[in-house]
Structure 1
């Protein structure tokens, strides 16, 4: 074999190995077989998961003194790029903060999944896959798990009247895995 031919073969192998490595990093196909379950309780206030301690734990609770969480809007997730189910709630907590709560979420795992609060209408089928980045949206953070119930804090300065849906958004491929239209609770 000639020197040029060996160099060509080595060059092709190097490009192939780099290409496979990049493809594995970009698509992360192993996530299709990995589930991550997160089961969080509804917080009392953003950043908490348990009720605040009282001075006298034996004293009866005054229900008017500490209003509980209130559901402002809700919706059911529909599938887009991947089979997705569960429910979404926009909840006002006792301290006045808000969270988006995903309950009984079941979707595929994927690279770079986010929870987005958006102003886009939820459309069935492939017509709804790419609409959520066309208008106003805010990322509430990375999806904590592709299964279970979890909470996402809403920024305090956000005008919630400007947002009407929630999407499980794959930021890497600009596609919705699933979404829910938020209706009055």
Structure 2
């Protein structure tokens, strides 16, 4: 009587193991769960703030204006651009998918450029987080998690850290008056971690 040969299940087991490893690695890369326990703190100074000049005085006779040199009145002095950043709008961050606190300010710098500044930011870390300037309303709860890519938005770059004070420059061709909110946006999963309404000052 001939011997019956049974097909080995080893190749099937090897393929299943390889597929399991591939799926696990892809899942780790996609979700990056370890970031939830990693904090990145960034502390950036407010740009465009100049230290006050130290007044210098010469000899006593130079400190007193001569009678023949009238001092300029305030109405005749030329106007100068502000020497410090001007706050145009601001608001407090609210939580969306992750607990998020801190404040946001939209600033015009002395050179005429604009930045969004995050102050005292505290949110969760995560994959592919961005700072978005948008025209979407800021809504509480799950209703506000996914609205920020429904209308106009500008990505100001990757979130530098999930904690601290940070500056994000607006492109020169972007009019800040067209936007009303800022979102900490997870671009990988299309969800807001937190957002702030920009109330005009």
Q: Same fold (TM over 0.5)?
A: yes
Identify unmatched segments of 5+ residues in structure 2: 1-5, 57-78
Shift, 1:150, TM fit: 0.2
Q: How many residues were matched structurally? A: 174
Q: TM-score normalized by structure 1?
A: 0.89
CA distance in 2, matches of 1:66, 1:177: 35
Equivalent residue for 1:9? 13
CA distance in 1, matches of 2:29, 2:167: 28
Alignment of 1:113-132 (within 5 A): 113-132=129-148
RMSD: 2.0
Alignment of 1:32-111 (within 5 A): 32-44=36-48, 51=50, 58-59=54-55, 67-111=83-127
Q: Cα 1:24–1:85, aligned 2, differ >3 Å: closer, same or farther?
A: same
For residues 163-182 of structure 1, give each alpha carbon's deviation from its aligned partner in whole angstroms, at most 9, with x where no partner exists. Answer: 00000000000000000000
CA distance in 2, matches of 1:99, 1:174: 24
Identify unmatched segments of 5+ residues in structure 1: 45-49
Structure 1 residue ranges (4+ consecutive) displaced by more than 4 angstroms after TM superposition: 57-60, 63-66
Shift, 1:65, TM fit: 6.2
Q: TM-score normalized by structure 2?
A: 0.82
CA distance in 1, matches of 2:31, 2:81: 51
Shift, 1:162, TM fit: 1.1
Q: Does 1:21 align with 2:25?
A: yes
CA distance in 2, matches of 1:66, 1:58: 18
Q: Cα 1:3–1:36, aligned 2, differ >3 Å: closer, same or farther?
A: farther
